[in-house]
Amino acid sequence: MSISGNTKLIYVIGNPISHSLSPAMHNTALNAQNLDIVYLPLKLTLETLPAFCQNIKNSNILGANVTIPFKEAIIPYLDTLSDEAQVIGAVNTLQVKDDQLIGHNTDAMGFYNHLIDATKFIPSSQTVALLGAGGAAKAIAYILLKKGIQTLHIINRNLNRADTLKKQLSPHLETGQNISVHESGQNTEETVLPTCGLIINTTPLGMTPDCDSTPTQSNAWCHQEQIVYDTIYTPEKTQWLKSCEEKGATICNGLGMLIGQGVLSYNLFTGQEADPKLFKSGIEAVLWKKKI
């Protein structure tokens, strides 16, 4: 890669940022397509975020990915939001277009595209359980309801947070769709989870280095007609996924969601299609080096 005075920039902004796999993913694709663009990590604070948003417009910066803790905090500094980002209330991609700073959320479609590719899930008439009610859960709940699932169970440690998410999504429900909320625990595992065709973990329980934790107390609810999706991708297969695989469920980790959101962001930044295989090879090079 050669950097010149014409080189354009894309950032991933967050705090901390050193753990991000996005530079490895995007730079692998940018290099392969021979684009004069570099993708860089940028650590910001809540105090420096507004200036970044102000200065990005009249610069050689094409856009940025946004990660923890700025996905919601950045919204007041943007000119417009995509429909998805508006309803989800979180932004993971900034696009500079015609001197406007536009906020998008590609986490939702990134997840959905991967789910469909990997499992052939058909949303209509489905009952789905979401474990967790934070940022990732919001995006996933939004897209699954938009694609036509019938029933969404939001199961969270903090019931108020699950209720807030229900209230946020309820105005967008179609006739026949419904959302219910539950506190995590054995009772919910016995009564709700066995009835679901798709169960998704959006909590960090089981993520490296906390590999022994699981988002459900047991796998007694699990059976072979279910798809079990863990948004975690380090380790590659969490204890939870392993235990559901043993019960015959179809399992998926979150690497495809990470790649899926990245590919969609790349298209917004560059106008080019990225090959997901290039993103995957960029990530694997970093994960392999770290021996996760």
**What are the catalytic residues?**
71
Q: Which of 27, 93, 126, 156 binds ligand NAP (CB under 6 A)?
A: 156
Report, in Å, the least distance between residue 120 CB and ligand NAP: 20
Q: Which of 204, 239, 243, 287 binds ligand NAP (CB under 6 A)?
A: 204
Q: Does 202 bind ligand NAP (CB under 6 A)?
A: yes
Report, in Å, the least distance between residue 56 CB and ligand NAP: 23
The token pair at 274 is: 């990225």
Q: Which of 134, 148, 194, 197 binds ligand NAP (CB under 6 A)?
A: 134
Q: Which stretch binds ligand NAP (CB under 6 A): 40-48, 198-206, 238-246, 276-284?
A: 198-206
Taking the least distance from each CB to ligand NAP, the nearer of 101 and 131 is 131
Q: How would you write 172-208 as a 3-class SS string?
A: HCCCCCEEEEEECCHHHHHHCHHHCCEEEECCCCCCC
Task: Tell me which residues in 216-235 interact with ligand NAP (CB under 6 A).
Answer: 231-233
Q: Which of 203, 214, 219, 270 binds ligand NAP (CB under 6 A)?
A: 203
Dihedral sign for Cα 155, 160, 163, 165, please: negative
Report, in Å, the least distance between residue 99 CB and ligand NAP: 30
Task: Tell me which residues in 114-133 interact with ligand NAP (CB under 6 A).
Answer: 132-133
Q: Which stretch binds ligand NAP (CB under 6 A): 74-82, 97-105, 134-142, 167-175?
A: 134-142
Report, in Å, the least distance between residue 284 CB and ligand NAP: 15
Look at residues 71, 67, 185, 210 and name the one whose alpha carbon lies nearest to residue 131. Answer: 185
The Cα-based distances of 133 to 19, 29, 166, 268, 290 in angstroms read 23, 32, 9, 27, 30
Long-range pairs for 16-24 at CB < 8 Å and ≥24 separation?
16/43, 17/41, 17/42, 17/43, 17/67, 18/43, 20/67, 21/258, 21/282, 21/283, 21/286, 21/287, 22/65, 22/67, 22/262, 24/282, 24/283, 24/285, 24/286
Residues that bind ligand NAP (CB under 6 A): 107, 132-137, 156-158, 161, 202-205, 207, 231-233, 254, 257-258, 261
